[in-house]
C-alpha cells in the first residue's frame, strides 16, 4: 500500500455508475496500519500490466489477493491485486452539486450487493420490455403529449478536460454526454421523450 498524500483523481467511464459518475473528482486517502483494505471499500488501483488507474469496489480480500468489480458491472474483474497496487480508498466524490460520502466496509458491501441485485433484476425486466421500449422511443407519441415547459434542453458545463453536456427535463437531469465521448447516456424511461436525432 502506498503512503503519503494522494492528489484528487478525475473519475471517467460508466463502470461505477450510479455510485460514481464521470467526471466526479475523487478524494482518496491511503491505507495505513490502522485501516486495512476491506470488502466493500471503493479503491483506486493500478491493475497488473497496466499504467492507468482504475476505481472499483472490493468484493473479496483473501489469500488469493484483492478482487474487485465495478458497481455497474455484472462480472468481477479478472485480476487479483496485491496491497502494493492500491493507491488508496475513495472517501468523497465531488460533483457540481457538492460533495458525497463514499461508503466502504460493511455499508459499502451492502450498497455493492444491492446494486448488483438491482442490475440483475433490471436485465431480466429489460429483456422482456426492450422491444416495446425501443419501438415507443422511435415514435413521437410521448414527445407529442409532453408540456412545452418539460421539453428536454441541453446545459453545457465547462470542464478542464472539455465540455460536459447535461440533458434536462424541468429541473431534473435525465441524460449526459461526457467530454471525449460522442454518444449520449439517457436514463430510462426518458428516452421516450427525447428525439436523439436533434441532440
In this prediction the pTM is: 0.65
Residue 2, pLDDT above cutoff 60? no
Calpha distance 18→21 (Å, rounded): 6
pLDDT in tens, 163-185: 888 999 888 888 888 888 888 98
pLDDT in tens, 91-107: 999 987 789 999 999 99
pLDDT in tens, 37-73: 999 999 999 999 888 899 999 999 999 999 999 999 9
Bridge partners, residue 163, by sequence: 158
70 and 7 Cβ atoms separated by less than 8 Å: no
Calpha distance 145→26 (Å, rounded): 41
Amino acid at each position: 500500500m502506498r503512503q503519503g498524500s494522494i492528489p484528487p483523481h478525475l473519475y471517467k467511464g460508466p463502470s461505477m455508475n450510479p455510485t460514481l459518475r464521470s467526471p466526479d473528482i475523487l478524494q482518496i486517502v491511503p491505507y495505513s496500519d490502522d485501516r486495512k483494505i476491506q470488502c466493500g471499500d471503493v479503491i483506486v488501483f493500478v491493475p497488473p500490466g497496466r499504467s492507468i488507474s482504475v476505481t472499483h469496489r472490493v468484493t473479496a480480500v483473501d489469500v488469493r489477493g484483492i478482487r474487485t468489480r465495478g458497481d455497474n458491472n455484472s462480472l468481477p474483474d479478472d485480476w487479483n491485486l496485491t496491497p502494493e497496487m492500491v493507491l488508496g480508498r475513495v472517501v468523497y466524490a465531488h460533483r457540481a452539486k457538492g460533495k458525497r460520502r463514499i461508503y466502504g466496509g460493511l455499508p459499502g458491501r451492502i450498497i455493492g450487493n444491492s446494486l448488483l441485485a438491482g442490475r440483475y433484476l433490471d436485465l431480466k425486466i429489460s429483456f422482456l420490455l426492450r422491444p416495446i421500449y425501443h419501438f415507443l422511443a422511435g415514435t413521437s407519441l410521448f414527445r407529442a403529449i409532453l408540456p412545452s415547459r418539460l421539453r428536454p434542453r441541453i446545459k453545457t458545463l465547462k470542464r478542464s478536460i472539455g465540455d460536459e453536456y447535461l440533458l434536462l427535463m424541468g429541473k431534473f437531469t435525465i441524460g449526459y454526454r461526457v467530454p471525449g465521448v460522442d454518444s449520449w447516456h439517457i436514463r430510462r424511461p426518458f428516452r421516450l421523450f427525447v428525439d436523439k436525432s436533434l441532440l
